Amino acid sequence: YTSKLKRTIQSVKPFINRGCAFESLDALNEINWGEMEGRQSTPESYADFTKVVTAWRDGNLAHAIGGGETPINLQERQRKGLEYILSKENERQIIIAMHGRAMRSFLCLMMEYPLNLMDDFDHSNLCLYIIQWNGEKFRIKTANDTSHLL
């Protein structure tokens, strides 16, 4: 499963080229950064970004960058995606590819962590989390692994 974002699909292209079935879901898309979407980073925009992320860490999850999505909105969208993925009972081993903020929120959802702790989940570009589902709960077996990139 991938988000519908071009870069995410490009990242898993080697799996797709090997014949792995994939499905793109809007529910897995990155958080909508509103007026910051697609803009070059400047000292001012970085300061705005930092303020928003700090507000989220402090529990103000209803805060968003102008025109953007809140973490609450993001996770509500992701919950629908997770329910859809879990409804596919014949799938034993899957890959889910998404961008960083979305991944952190998704990990909170799966691990039942408060959303303001999403930054507790480290991530690097193209990192791997291996997560096990026992039918009731998720368990992280491997976190933020980049050994496959060496």
Q: How many residues can be counted in the chain?
A: 150
Task: List, as own/partner pairs, every contact residues 88-91 make where C-beta atoms lie below 8 angstroms and the sequence separation is at least 24, other chains included.
Answer: none
Structure tokens at 106: 């998704």
pLDDT band, residue 54 (cuts 50/70/90): very high
Per-residue model confidence as pLDDT tens digits over 116-135: 999 999 999 999 999 999 99
- Identify the pLDDT of residue 92: 87
Mean pLDDT of the chain, nearest integer: 94
- Identify the pLDDT of residue 89: 86
- Identify the pLDDT of residue 38: 84
- Identify the pLDDT of residue 150: 84
pTM, to two decimals:
0.93
Written out in words, the top-level CATH class of the domain with range 6-149 is alpha beta
Per-residue model confidence as pLDDT tens digits over 59-97: 999 999 889 999 999 999 999 999 999 999 889 899 999
CA–CA separation, 141 and 150 (whole Å):
20
pLDDT band, residue 111 (cuts 50/70/90): very high
CA angle at 135 for the pair 134 and 136, rounded to the nearest 5°: 95
pLDDT band, residue 39 (cuts 50/70/90): confident
